[in-house]
Amino acid sequence: MGTFLPPIEKPKGLIMKLAFYFIHRQFGKVFTPLKVHSARLPTAFFLFYGKVNQLDKKLSLPVEAAMLIRRQVTQINVCEFCIDTQRWAASKMSIDPAKLDALENYCTNNWFTDRERAIT
Calpha distance 38→16 (Å, rounded):
9
Its pTM stands at: 0.63
* Whole-Å CA distances, 90 to 18, 42, 48, 73: 27, 30, 23, 15
Per-domain boundaries in the chain: 11-54, 59-120
Asked if residue 92 lies in contact with residue 73, where contact means CB atoms within 8 angstroms, the answer is no
Calpha distance 115→86 (Å, rounded):
21
pLDDT digits (tens, 9 = 90+) for 30-82: 988 888 888 888 877 877 877 877 887 887 888 888 888 888 888 887 778 88
